[in-house]
Amino acid sequence: MLEKPYYRPRRLRFHPRLRRMVAETRLFPEDFIYPLFVCPGEGVRKEISSMPGNFNLSVDHLLEECREIQGLGVMAVLLFGLPPRKDEIGSGAFAEDGIVQQAVRAIKAVFPDLLVITDVCMCEYTSHGHCGPIRNGEVDNDATLELLARTALSHAKAGADIVAPSDMMDGRVRAIRQELDGNGFEHTPILSYAAKYASGFYGPFREAAQSAPQFGDRCSYQMDPANQREALREVALDIEEGADIVMVKPAMPYLDVIYRVKTEFEVPVAAYQVSGEYAALVAAHRNGWLDRDRTILESLLSIKRAGADLIITYFAKDAVRLIRAQ
Ligand code: PBG
């Protein structure tokens, strides 16, 4: 006679309540950060074609959006700027009345509780689309540091709660920390894009932020998708230089990296579910190939389960709605 199983894992799976009680991972509204793209002008709300549901917003519409976000209970936004003009060094990034600086001031004046995180990078502001000034056909690392530090300081002065450098230059966290500390912003945290890969999944973002490189690619500064141990070195360096939160980006194709960063370091870990991850899912939803609500939550749950404390996602509003409805 066949011996019956003694331990039956299914016992805990029958009752929906019990399933919820033994769930190992949960999503909370506090987990999410919502990216927003601010552009010059007034009355602008232009949908980004490869990221349905996301818009280039002028400051007036940005405030409308923040009202909705605040109402839903999303805690934080991540701001990207589209400047009115670009130049060789990306001076729009640190202009006192630059687009992000204006947006931060406007948001904090109306929604002081909404956490405003600013992306610190030059690529939206340079005419060539690279993340720093070019010398001899390559991005000049050390010349970029000074520009990034100026940019981060100008964001902090405008009222940013957190600055988030995404350029992948060597030494930028230290440069930014020094500049902030030297100017009375020693309490402004740095969320560092520590392990940022040279990824094909950024495609739609580059349309959204008009930041595609005009020649070459970003492989000389962003990480090779083949490398996991190198990510740990990058994270260790950034923590040493003063990063308060470290990020892995993209998220779903790099869950192993998220897991290792979480297990080997004691700082909060963020993961960025990037534009291409979003676009791929939305395309499948629109074709009726995947169930929208289920796959949004499952994708976010996988990122959290891997170890992310914070998730930057274009699904943040949907996620919070879905979690509250559960
Ligand atoms: C700027 C930056 C990029 C993203 C965030 N900050 C683009 C890039 O590095 O090319 C990508 C975000 C996304 O794809 O959603 N350096």
Contact between 309 and 265 (Cβ < 8 Å): no
Q: Quick one: tokens of 235?
A: 């994270």
Active site residues: 196, 249
Give Cα 10 distance to the centre of its chain. Answer: 38
Question: Would you state the structure tokens that stand for residue 184, as one six-digit string?
Answer: 């009375």
Give pLDDT tens digits for 81-116. 999 999 999 999 999 999 999 999 999 999 999 999
Mean pLDDT of 52-61: 97
Ligand 1 atom having least distance to the Cα of 131: 16
Contact call for residues 258 and 295 (beta carbons, < 8 A): no
Among 211, 222, 248, 313, residue to substitute to test ligand 1 (most atoms within 8 Å of Cβ) = 211
pLDDT at 326: 87
Helix (H, G, I), strand (E, B) or coil at 57: strand
Confidence tier at 210 by pLDDT (50, 70, 90): confident
Ligand 1 pocket list (CB less than 6 A): 119, 121, 123, 131, 166-167, 202, 205-206, 218, 274-275
* CATH code reported for the domain at 26-325: 3.20.20.70
Residue 207 has pLDDT above 90, yes or no: no
pLDDT at 1 over 90: no
Q: How many residues comprise the chain?
A: 326
**CA proximity to 241, closest of 196, 284, 326, 180:** 180
For ligand 1, the distance from its centroid to the CA atom of residue 205, given in whole angstroms, is 6
Expressed in angstroms and rounded, the spacing between residue 73 Cα and the centre of ligand 1 is: 25
Contact 267, 304 (CB under 8 A): no
What is residue 75's predicted lDDT score, i.e. its pLDDT? 97
CA distances from 5 to 8, 9, 13, 22, 326 (A): 6, 10, 16, 21, 33
- What does the angle CA 74 – CA 150 – CA 76 come to, to the nearest 5 degrees? 5
Instruction: For residue 202, report the distance from its CA to the centre of ligand 1, in Å.
Output: 6
